[in-house]
Amino acid sequence: MRSVSGLTLALLGVLLTATATMAQASGTKNDGWKSVKFCSMIFSVPETLKDNKAQGIDSCVASLSDNSVSLSIDYGLYSGVSRYDHYLDYEERDIVIGGRKGSIATYRDSTTAPEKSWVGRLFIVVEPPKDGWPAVATNMFVVVGSKAELSIAERIIRSIKFNKSPR
């Protein structure tokens, strides 16, 4: 019977580590989330969300949903910040994503069905005004059923990577 040398074990360990790292980097690890690309952004969403094929006129819009989460995006020159501080349990804080400053707000919308009444809203200026054009900005709304599920909105928002400008 042959004995396995220390060098062979070390090489096997390196190979297993490299394989696991490559699998994780390539996105093959399935944790129930997928990457999607909409409106010059790439971000992660629960894999159960389906594209509702929304179409905008003067900005890029997107809508994805399943039975428990709804996500909508308005991205372009005419996407302005809206204040929702009259809603229940309203909280707002500053956020930086990809070097761009914005705000994230959470609140409870009592005007909607209870199963989807908690909202996580991101507003971020993607590009400041330039050459007489208004700022390019995005509003993203993630609507869920409970305050605890706002962690879904937080994960989606924090996963955003910006691509090219729509200008």
| Closest by Cα among 41, 68, 66 to 52 | 66
Tell me what pLDDT residue 10 has: 39
| Closest by Cα among 47, 87, 163, 71 to 122 | 71
Per CATH, which fold does 32-162 belong to?
A: Protein Transport Mog1p; Chain A (3.40.1000)
Residue 14 has pLDDT above 80, yes or no: no
Instruction: Indicate the SS3 state at residue 6.
Output: helix
How far apart are the C-alpha atoms of 113 and 43, rounded to whole Å? 27
Tell me what pLDDT residue 34 has: 97
Residue spans per domain, the chain: 1-30, 32-162
117-139 confidence digits (pLDDT tens) = 899 999 998 888 889 888 889 99
DSSP 67: S
What single-letter amino acid sits at 58?
A: D
Task: Report the Cα–Cα distance between both ends of the chain, in Å, rounded.
Answer: 69
Residue 84 has pLDDT above 70, yes or no: no
